[in-house]
């Protein structure tokens, strides 16, 4: 038996809001709605949704403001709804802690698939285990040991930290700036290019074909994510 998941849809364009509500109720979700940022914050508190679908362009408090405020107290999964032109906002949103984004216009199928993926990941990361397994990669965090198909792989500390960060939240997009922040405490290289260099080395060590990576995937123009499917 599945419990019905509740989605808070934050969207000021009524036509889109209605479409989204129809898609989601059709797919078996419970839907609550807010049409501006203030309402989104109070609905999030009152309704305790399982996830939030957040339009970025809202009157008053915009989607980024709402995401920033929500993240002070809540780790509820957030998917941003963005227009094609909002690439900078998308990156800022991910850095504020949004989990994913969908670009308008989107298909109902894509929307539902993304929501299910984010909900599934949110459930999986709650366990927070010490050993992460994805296909034939195993990461033993306390022992700082990584194996690929049973074979030990030697990683530098920076590579290990990058891999663990990505793999702890499969599918979640990390921007280069976020990953850079992470490795800055470890090494003194402070250019975003150094993230790419570490990723390149990491791929050589764990991917069967580093040019077509299964695990460390590039999100074009944004950053990287760990592939879990
Ligand atoms: Ca809007």
Q: Are residues 91 and 110 in the same domain?
A: yes
CATH number at residue 119: 3.40.50.2300
150 within a domain of the structure (yes/no) = yes
Name the 3-class secondary structure at 216: strand
Q: Are residues 71 and 26 in the same domain?
A: yes
Between the CA of 71 and the centroid of ligand 1 the distance, in Å, is 21
Q: Which of 106, 126, 146 is the last residue of a domain?
A: 126
Between the CA of 208 and the centroid of ligand 1 the distance, in Å, is 42
For the chain, list residues with pLDDT below 70: 1-2, 124-128, 185-193, 229
At residue 126, the pLDDT reads 44
Q: Are residues 152 and 116 in the same domain?
A: no
Q: Are residues 14 and 120 in the same domain?
A: yes
Q: Are residues 135 and 100 in the same domain?
A: no
At residue 229, the pLDDT reads 66
58 within a domain of the structure (yes/no) = yes
At residue 43, the pLDDT reads 96
- Select from 169, 165, 197, 170 the least CA-distant residue to 181: 165
Parent domain of 82: 6-126
Q: Are residues 122 and 138 in the same domain?
A: no
At residue 142, the pLDDT reads 86
Q: Are residues 116 and 39 in the same domain?
A: yes
Q: Are residues 118 and 147 in the same domain?
A: no
User: Per the structure, how many domains does the chain have?
Assistant: 2
CATH number at residue 170: 1.10.10.10
Between the CA of 57 and the centroid of ligand 1 the distance, in Å, is 4
Between the CA of 123 and the centroid of ligand 1 the distance, in Å, is 29
pTM of the model: 0.74
Distance CA 164, CA 172 (A): 13
Q: Are residues 116 and 145 in the same domain?
A: no
Q: Which of 102, 126, 150 is the last residue of a domain?
A: 126
At residue 88, the pLDDT reads 86
Distance CA 129, CA 98 (A): 22
At residue 172, the pLDDT reads 87
Between the CA of 56 and the centroid of ligand 1 the distance, in Å, is 6
Q: What is the C-alpha radius of gyration for the chain, rounded to an integer number of angstroms?
A: 19
Between the CA of 121 and the centroid of ligand 1 the distance, in Å, is 27
3-state per-residue secondary structure call for 113-180: HHHHHHHHHHHHHHHCCCEEEECCEEEECCCCEEEECCEEECCCHHHHHHHHHHHHCCCCCEEHHHHH
Q: Which of 78, 105, 126 is the last residue of a domain?
A: 126
CB 80 within 8 A of CB 100: yes
Q: Are residues 147 and 216 in the same domain?
A: yes
Between the CA of 86 and the centroid of ligand 1 the distance, in Å, is 12
1 within a domain of the structure (yes/no) = no
List pLDDT tens digits, range 84-102: 778 888 889 998 989 889 9
């Amino acid at each position: 038996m599945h419990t019905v998941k509740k989605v808070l849809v934050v969207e000021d364009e009524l036509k889109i809001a209605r479409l989204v509500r129809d898609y989601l109720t059709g797919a078996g979700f419970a839907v609550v709605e807010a049409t501006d940022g203030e309402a989104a914050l109070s609905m999030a508190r009152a309704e305790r949704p399982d996830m939030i679908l957040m339009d970025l362009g809202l009157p008053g408090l915009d989607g980024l403001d709402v995401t920033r405020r929500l993240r002070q107290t809540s780790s509820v999964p957030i998917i941003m709804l963005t227009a094609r032109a909002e690439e900078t906002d998308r990156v800022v949103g991910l850095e504020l802690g949004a989990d994913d984004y969908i670009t308008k216009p989107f298909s109902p199928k894509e929307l539902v698939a993304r929501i299910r993926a984010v909900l599934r990941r949110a459930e999986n990361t709650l366990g927070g285990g010490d050993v992460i397994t994805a296909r034939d990669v195993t990461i033993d965090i306390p022992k700082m040991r990584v194996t690929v198909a049973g074979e030990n792989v030697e990683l530098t500390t920076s590579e290990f930290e990058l891999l663990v960060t990505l793999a702890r939240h499969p599918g979640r997009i990390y921007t280069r700036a976020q990953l850079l922040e992470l490795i800055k405490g470890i090494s003194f290289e402070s250019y975003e290019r150094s993230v790419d260099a570490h990723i390149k080395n990491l791929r050589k060590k764990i991917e069967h074909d580093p040019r077509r990576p299964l695990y460390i995937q590039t999100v074009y123009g944004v950053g990287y994510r760990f592939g879990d499917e």
